[in-house]
Structures are given as structure tokens and as C-alpha cells.
Copies of this chain bind each other. A is one copy, B any other.
Amino acid sequence: MPAPLPLSQQALRTADSPISYFIQKAIETKGLISLAAGLVDESSFPTADIAAVVAAILGDPESARMALQYGSTQGYPKLREQIVNMVCDADGVRPADANLSAQDVILTTGSQQLLYLLGEALFDPGDIVICEAPSYFVYHGVLQTRGVRTLSVPMDAGGMDVDALEALLIKLEASGEIAKLKLIYTVDYYQNPTGLTLAEERRPRLVELVKRFGKRHRILILEDAAYRELRYDGRDLPSIKKFDPTNQYVIYTSTFSKPCAPGLKTGYALLPRDLLGVVLNLKGNHDFGSSNLAQHIISRLLANGAYSRHVETLRGVYRTKRDAMLAALTEEFADMPGVTWTVPAGGLYVWATFPDSIPTGPDSTFVKRCLEEGVLYVPGEFGHVVDEFGRKPLTETRLSFGVSCPEQLAEGIRRMRRACDGVKEPAKRVEKRVGVLVG
């Protein structure tokens, strides 16, 4: 036996993703309908558009050379210019009026890398970050690996409850813990995991709050707008970033994975200028630049209109899927007391809550019954941190309508309903049945 590995403190506090088990299950279980995976619709990939722009890029010696050589750490300048214009257009502002230019944009390996780099730039062990309850569970992994203490703020139909946030900030100020508060994280459009959107009037208030409570050090807002473009109802709301016209308080991040293709693995962010340099230095050590070819592909798709046409197509595809899932939930669960779900205006997720008699956790009878029936969801507790009393909600589920077709979505929900019936049986008998089935 060799001597033990000399792991770092960071490695020791970094766990496997809680959903790895579920991904493995999904792969192993034949005929399973996964409402768990965060994958995207595959029938609508802009394959022909991508093939055409790759052929164009590689068909010209000059553009081929540029796309196949190393890029820069910050990313392809033309794409950064297109991004700043795209985001500012959506907010109805001119880049100059928002103190933004291509110099304030960074391209990353998906928006996930930006979330990670920002954690490195800002967090020491023991620092505090405030998230929505529930929040994006992969971000909890980032916070854990940095040794951060996560506090959470409840949500309602209008997203993060900003009054509750204010109360929490007052409490942190009174206790002196505000000195440890670095950042407030929000997925403010069609949130992963709940599908909820931060109400318009709450957006400027968020900026006001960090200004008011961040007198000694800056408290930053991380606006994760990954789903912004996947809007199926209503109008586009202004970003929180729009209410930060001096570009000092809000990091706006999004991705081309959801509205274009995850295989290109390209995300982006607009950052306060004094933070950008710090993040670039860190990224220089990580990889000195993400895939350059992917950036050139996306730049062409934006330039020739294929990207915006594709987003329009996607809206139709996902709207149909969302409606199929919502219709199935009504069909199957309207008569079941204590089952509620969100009705998202965009994104990829519905958040369903079950009665206290049906815990949904990773070791629950319900999740086993669902696997028997051939359906998988993400247990809601992965999105939560425990509150001050050591508790978290135990009967919630994230249901994704991203990857399955409408018929599978309906069948998946039917299977979940059948699985519920099973849970009503005495626990012992259910476990026995599982044993027989497995054996």
C-alpha cells in the first residue's frame, strides 16, 4: 500500500455532486424517463447553422488561423463586443450609458466557470453568501469547496423575498457578521430550480440594499441570468444590472449552453472593472482562455442571425414542453391534497411540493418507488441549506422539461402519480416489495 495522498484542505471539503448518483441511476435504468437531468432539448439543436459557420470559418485561411490558434484569457474581442450589445439591447440601454464595453466582458467555460472564478476572487473560508431558498444546487458545491457559510432568503411568487433579505441584512449588521458577507446570489429569470422570476420592482431594491449595507466593503450581487432568453410568456424584465449604471455592484452572467448548444460550453459575464482584472488573473492560472473555436462559432451565429432565429424556435419548443408538463400535473395531481407546483414563464424547471406524508429525499421511499415506476426527479433538498434550526424542506422536487418530449413528460408525471400511491402503503411493506423487486 502506498502512503496516503496529501490532500489539501479544499479537497477535503469538496464532495461529489449530490446528483452524480442520480445521473448514474438514469444511465443504468433502461426505459427511465428522467425529469432530473438539466440537459436541453436535442431535436432542436441548430446543427445545420453550426455546420455552416464552421465550414465558413475553416474555409477561409485567415479566419481558420484565428479560430484554431490560442485565443486570449478574456476571450474573442468581437464576441465580447456582440455580447455587451446584446445584453444592453435587452435592457434598452446604450453600453456607454451603462458604463459597459467589450472590455468589461469575460468569456468562460460555461457560466459555471464564472461562478467558480468569482468564488475564488472573493471568498475565504468562513465568509458569508446569501442565496435564494432553494438555490441552484451546483452553486452550493462552489460555496462548499470555498468553505463559505451559506444563508438563505425565502422566495415567493415574485422570487427572492427582498423584505426578508433586508431583515437578514439588518440582523447581520447588528451581529457584526456583515463584515463576512461578500455576495448575494440570485438566478433571477425562471430560476433553477423553482422556475420563479424576481419581480421587476424588487430589482432596483436589491441594488439599493447592497449599497446601503455595504459601506465598509462592497457587497456584490451575482445575477445568474442563464435562462433569461428562454421566455415563453410575458415580456422580458430589465436585469438587475440595469440598476447598476456605474458598473460597480452587479456581476451579470449568462451562457450560450441553454439557448444555443451546451457542447460549445461557452458562458460570459459582465463585471465591475476593478473585479475583472482579478478574475482574469485567476483565469490565467486556470486555463488562459476557454475554447477559442467555440467562441468563433458563436460569434458567427450571432452575426448572421441564426442565433436569434434559434432562440425564437427554442421558445416554441420549450413552451410546448412546459405546457405538456403542467397539463399532466393538473391531470394527475389536481385531486391530490397538498401537492402544489410552480407555473414558470420560462426556463426549464417546474418545482413541485408534496404533502408531509411524502418525503422526496434521496433515501426516501418515494424516490425508490419512482425508480421502480421508471421516472426520476431531483430531490428538492439538494437546493436548500439548513436554516438556523438545522432544518430544511423535505418534500420538494425539481422537474425538468428540458430533454424529454411532451409524451414522455406526460408519462413521467403519470409514473410519479403511481409512485405516490405506493408511498401511502405502510413503510415496511413497501420496503419488502422493493427487496422482492430488486432480488
Give Cα A264 to B58, complex, Å. 13
Contacts of A142 on B, CB cut-off 8 Å? 285
Give Cα A138 to B218, complex, Å. 31
Cβ of A248 under 8 Å from chain B: yes
A109-B287, A294-B291 given; A263·B71 CB < 8 A? yes
Contacts of A294 on B, CB cut-off 8 Å? 291, 293-294
Cβ of A238 under 8 Å from chain B: no
Give Cα A373 to B79, complex, Å. 34
Do A122 and B11 touch across chains, with their CB atoms under 8 A apart?
A: yes
Do A141 and B291 touch across chains, with their CB atoms under 8 A apart?
A: no
List the one stretch of A187-195, A272-280, A363-371 in contact with chain B.
Answer: A272-280
Instruction: Enumerate A242-284 residues with CB–CB distance to B below 8 Å.
Output: 246, 248-249, 257, 261-266, 272, 274-275, 277-278, 280-282, 284
Give Cα A262 to B292, complex, Å. 8
Do A265 and B291 touch across chains, with their CB atoms under 8 A apart?
A: yes
Which residue of chain B has its CB nearest to the CB of A2? B248
Do A110 and B263 touch across chains, with their CB atoms under 8 A apart?
A: no
Give Cα A129 to B280, complex, Å. 24
Cβ of A17 under 8 Å from chain B: yes
Q: 1/0 per position for A1-23, CB-CB distance to B under 8 A? A: 01111111111001111001000
Which residue of chain B has its CB nearest to the CB of A289? B265
Do B54 and A69 touch across chains, with their CB atoms under 8 A apart?
A: no
Contacts of A218 on B, CB cut-off 8 Å? 2-6
Contacts of A65 on B, CB cut-off 8 Å? 42, 45
Which residue of chain B has its CB nearest to the CB of A64? B47
Residue of B51, B61, B246, B261 near A2 (CB, 8 A) is B246
Q: How far is the CB of A408 from chain B (nearest CB, A)?
A: 16
Contacts of A432 on B, CB cut-off 8 Å? none
Do A5 and B274 touch across chains, with their CB atoms under 8 A apart?
A: yes
Q: 1/0 per position for A293-310, CB-CB distance to B under 8 A? A: 110100000000000000
Which residue of chain B has its CB nearest to the CB of A284? B17
Give Cα A284 to B182, complex, Å. 23
Give Cα A112 to B73, complex, Å. 12
Contacts of A287 on B, CB cut-off 8 Å? 108-110, 112-113, 116, 265
Instruction: Enumerate A106-142 residues with CB–CB distance to B below 8 Å.
Output: 108-110, 112-113, 116, 120-124, 127, 138, 141-142
Cβ of A204 under 8 Å from chain B: no
Cβ of A325 under 8 Å from chain B: no
Cβ of A422 under 8 Å from chain B: no
Do A286 and B39 touch across chains, with their CB atoms under 8 A apart?
A: no
Q: How many copies does the complex hold?
A: 2
Give Cα A220 to B5, complex, Å. 9
| Of listed A14, A59, A286, residue having the most chain B CB within 10 A | A286
Which residue of chain B has its CB nearest to the CB of A267? B287
Residue of B47, B59, B116, B274 near A68 (CB, 8 A) is B47
Contacts of A274 on B, CB cut-off 8 Å? 5
What residues of chain A have their CB less than 8 Å away from a CB belonging to chain B?
2-11, 14-17, 20, 38-40, 42, 45, 47-48, 50-51, 54-55, 58-59, 61, 64-65, 67-71, 108-110, 112-113, 116, 120-124, 127, 138, 141-142, 145, 182, 211, 214-220, 246, 248-249, 257, 261-266, 272, 274-275, 277-278, 280-282, 284-294, 296
With A5-B220, A6-B219, A112-B285 already in contact, 19 other A-B pairs whose C-beta atoms are closer than 8 Å: A3-B215, A4-B217, A4-B218, A5-B272, A8-B127, A10-B121, A10-B124, A11-B121, A14-B281, A14-B282, A45-B65, A48-B58, A54-B54, A68-B261, A110-B288, A112-B286, A112-B287, A116-B287, A138-B284
Can you offer 21 A-B residue contacts whose CB atoms are under 8 A? A2-B211, A2-B218, A2-B246, A6-B182, A8-B124, A10-B124, A14-B285, A47-B58, A50-B58, A54-B55, A55-B55, A69-B263, A70-B262, A110-B287, A112-B285, A112-B288, A116-B285, A138-B285, A265-B287, A265-B290, A291-B291
